[in-house]
A and B are shown apart, each in its own frame.
Chain A
Amino acid sequence: MTEFCQFVLIGLVTGSLYALIALGYTMVYGIIELINFAHGDLFMLGSFLALQLVITIGVAATPGSAPAPPAPSTGAAVLAIGLMLVAAPVFCAALNAVVDRAVYKPVRAAPKLAAIVSAIGVSFIFMNMGLFWFGPVDLNFPSLVPNTNLLDGTDLRFTYKDLMVVVVTIPAMVLLTFFVRYTTLGKAMRAAAQDPTAARLMGIDVDRVISATFAIGGALAGVASVVYGLYFNTVGYQMGFQNGVYAFTAAVLGGIGNIPGAVLGGIVIGLVRALGSKYAGEEWSEALIFAILIIILLFRPTGILGARTREKV
């Protein structure tokens, strides 16, 4: 029983990370029906920028060079984390919005396939940028958050690292929900997603709203990339693909285009991975995720929360 609880805990923590990435897929899909294949790679570039930052300020070693710098003081670690949590989201937001303007906007009027192929192209470009940046080998991401157990005295492990993931991801998701539900731009995003022509008739600059959507999705990927690096302490140019696929699966599972659905899907994927690796074996957890995806899509193609959305007026 304790073991079960332990893996549920792991699932919830990693799941909230997938949820954060999944939101970027689902928001962009919701507004322009584009599956942004480059989103996972944007996430990878975010973690690279974060790594570059800690190397530059001397908290982490340049890859391949010995020796490692001494462990930073708590103050320096907090400062470094704070810096990364500002820089990576800003970088990813700007990059995503620029790509929207430069690549997707020109093909907006063309058939959907043009945008999808462009997204695949951007994915390759991002991946190669990563390859060029830090090379093909996996890199150590500095362990700035201690691994001490907060539940000492019980049989469960919940470390500062786990806490960090929760403390960053949950408020980010709450903030996003609040933003989309109550702010004028958030309402305009939903309006443009539901009926772009009507949105234009309201005086909404739909292109601007789409750019904002890319920026917000990118910022969330940037937050996730920092949390991921600090949690797993390994990053590499291919991390965008695997995590992108998980997050995309989460988005589809929850009903693509649906924001609460993406969060729910992320949590479910996290749980399936954790419990799957415990009870079915690590090698099966990935297959399990896709099996569940296929089953849900067969019996409920709109995902868990996607059904009530597409009523036609």
Chain B
Amino acid sequence: MPPLLDVRDLEAGYGPISVLHQLSLTVEQGEIVALIGANGAGKTTTLMCLSAVVKARAGRVVFDGRDLVAGRVPAHEVVRLGLAQAPEGRKIFPRLTVLENLQMGAYTRTDHDAVGKDIEKAFGMFPILRDRQHQAGGLLSGGQQQMLAIARALMARPKLLLLDEPSLGLAPQIVVQIFDVIRELNRQGVSVLLVEQNARMALKVAHRGYVLETGRITCTDKADVLLNDPRIRAAYLGE
């Protein structure tokens, strides 16, 4: 079976700045893949490129059999194809309620009854969101916003979920909770591309990993192999 996501020789940047260089990676159906790298390596740019918010300058992004770059698929169509993102900094709509934020996650869907059921499912996964459903998203704590960001992305019923630094700025016990959710979602069949600076946590939950350095993939392997690689341990695991 071909991979769910097949990225080949991707080039992207901002204006005169070139950020990604011949970036290639794949995500198989049912996999959790970690993309780790230092601050400024280009992780967010990669995810934004996959979501077509940042334009690819060259290369291919084949998702579920369709080349998004060649097809010039706009950002709002990418979601419809089954690729959703919980972006860096969460990007919760601050003056929409929690419930409205979730509804926006389902914007592309027309099966309104099923959307209602999925909102119930999201509340089951994150009960705090049910209690806060009529509050403005901007009033939630960081951890609650991260839960809302993930739940909101799931409302699109994605085949592939992109997560950009879900642990950033959160208390350790919240981080554990978030990673438990990622594992559980994956068990339910959602494939995940996980961007993290917290490399240890990411590689523990992932099947495979890629290391990104200044816009280039420098290393890729099974997650447990990367976890035990002395160079990775020195550079990203603080040893």
Contact = CB atoms under 8 A, between A and B. Distances in A.
B96 A203 contact: no
Contacts of B38: none
A205 interface: yes
B145 to A, nearest CB: 7
Interface of A: 184, 187-188, 190-191, 194-195, 197-206, 309, 311-313
21 contacts: A190-B95, A191-B96, A191-B100, A194-B95, A195-B94, A198-B87, A198-B91, A199-B104, A200-B53, A201-B85, A202-B79, A202-B104, A202-B105, A202-B156, A203-B76, A203-B79, A204-B104, A205-B74, A205-B76, A311-B94, A313-B138
Contact of B91 (A197, A203, A206, A311): A197
Contact of B96 (A184, A190, A204, A311): A190
Interface in B85-103: 85, 87, 89-96, 100, 103
Contacts of B85: 201
A39 B91 CA distance: 31
Given A184-B107, A187-B104, A201 B92 contact: no
A27 to B, nearest CB: 15
Contacts of B216: none
Nearest to A201: B85
A202 B107 contact: yes
Given A201-B87, A203-B78, 11 more contacts: A187-B100, A187-B103, A195-B93, A200-B51, A201-B53, A201-B91, A203-B75, A204-B76, A206-B76, A311-B138, A313-B91
Contacts of B76: 200, 203-206
B96 A194 contact: yes
Contacts of A195: 91, 93-94
A195 B93 CA distance: 6
B39 interface: no
Interface string B18-45: 0000000000000000000000000000
B84 interface: yes
Contacts of A198: 87, 91-93
B218 interface: no
Contacts of B100: 187, 191
A119 B93 CA distance: 28
Contacts of B93: 190-191, 194-195, 198-199
Contacts of B78: 203
A223 to B, nearest CB: 27
A111 B155 CA distance: 34
Contacts of B145: 313
B80 interface: yes
Nearest to B85: A201
Contacts of A312: 94
B103 A184 contact: yes
A191 B104 contact: yes
A203 B107 contact: yes
B104 A188 contact: yes
Nearest to B95: A194
A238 B92 CA distance: 44
B150 to A, nearest CB: 13
Interface string B120-143: 000000000000000001100000
A194 B90 CA distance: 13
Nearest to A205: B76
A203 B80 contact: yes
Contacts of A206: 76
A229 to B, nearest CB: 36
Interface string B50-81: 01010000000000000000000011111110
B108 interface: yes
Given A201-B87, A203-B79, A309 B95 contact: yes
A201 B47 CA distance: 11
